Amino acid sequence: MNKAELFQQIRKKESFLCVGLDTDIQKIPRNLLDTSDAIFAFNKEIIDATHDLAVAYKPNLAFYESMGVNGWNSLEKTVNYIRYKYPEIFIIADAKRGDIGNTSALYARAFFDTMDFDAVTVAPYMGEDSVKPFFTYVGKWVILLALTSNKGADDFQYVEEGGEKLFEKVIKKSQEWSNEDNMMYVVGATRAEMLSDIRKIAPNHFLLVPGVGAQGGSLAEVARYGMNSECGLLVNSSRQIIYASTGDDFAKKAREAALEVQKEMAELLKKYLK
């Protein structure tokens, strides 16, 4: 999916919501545990209940890898289900990969070829040769970790050298490797105060913004400081939506939670998109 197509979906759905599929076997309703693939059964119901309100889904790989081979199967079935049933939806592997070049090339193959993700999150710490292999897949996206939502972001990401913070260096340097047509940045919603500065150095890139909902980030602040003329934002919410209820009504409650976010997003798009 290209940038224009993504923006078209945002306009059509009046939403820039990414639903995080952080599916934890210990948190899903007990009755699903009788099915042959409880993780997939849960995801399928969540997806069916929210697909018209979201423009993206983001399975976080930890939740699947922790289940071994069964988790990988559930993940693959989830991706294939979205592709088949809702092909307009952008699918992000939140995998935070990156290694020496030949290894990164195989990570890229895993997510873009073996599995049909649109995008993968990549840690930029190992530099250019660790990121470049991900750019060789036409129509696929790299989402570089820039300024993360967790407290530990303070440990390294704000370290300054020559008047430049490390996360700013990541954003500037990576623009020598590729451009806004296949590269996004992760910026935590809990760091919304930095979005104006980030927009000065990356005015046109899409940003993947986790941290609203359970982590307490403000959607209104994110839109105020981070939205550009093509929206430029994919705001993720995982736990607040998928675990809105732990009972049999989980899909209905997830829809209600997603609808609340989508309605706010529709207002924000009206306010900031001319």
Ligand X SMILES: O=c1ccn([C@@H]2O[C@H](COP(=O)(O)O)[C@@H](O)[C@H]2O)c(=O)[nH]1
Provide the binding-site residues for ligand X, judged by CB under 6 A: 20, 22, 60, 94, 148-150, 186, 188, 210-211, 213-215, 236-239
In eight-state DSSP terms, residue 4 is H
Nearer CB in complex with ligand X: 129/256: 256
Nearer CB in complex with ligand X: 28/136: 28
State the number of CA atoms in the 13 A half-sphere of 30 facing the CB.
0
Identify the CA nearest to 143 among candidates 73, 77, 58: 58
Nearer CB in complex with ligand X: 104/238: 238
Among residues 27, 77, 96, 252, which one is catalytic?
A: 96
In eight-state DSSP terms, residue 36 is S
Do 177 and 137 contact (CB within 8 A), yes or no?
Answer: no
In eight-state DSSP terms, residue 118 is S
Smallest gap, in angstroms, from Cβ of residue 52 to ligand X? 20
Radius of gyration of the chain (CA): 18
Smallest gap, in angstroms, from Cβ of residue 41 to ligand X? 20
**Alpha-carbon torsion angle 28, 31, 34, 36, nearest 10:** -50
Smallest gap, in angstroms, from Cβ of residue 18 to ligand X? 9
Smallest gap, in angstroms, from Cβ of residue 27 to ligand X? 11
Nearer CB in complex with ligand X: 8/215: 215
Enumerate long-range contacts of 162-167, CB under 8 Å, 24 or more apart: 167/194
Active site residue 252: no
Would you please indicate which residues are annotated as catalytic (active-site) residues?
96
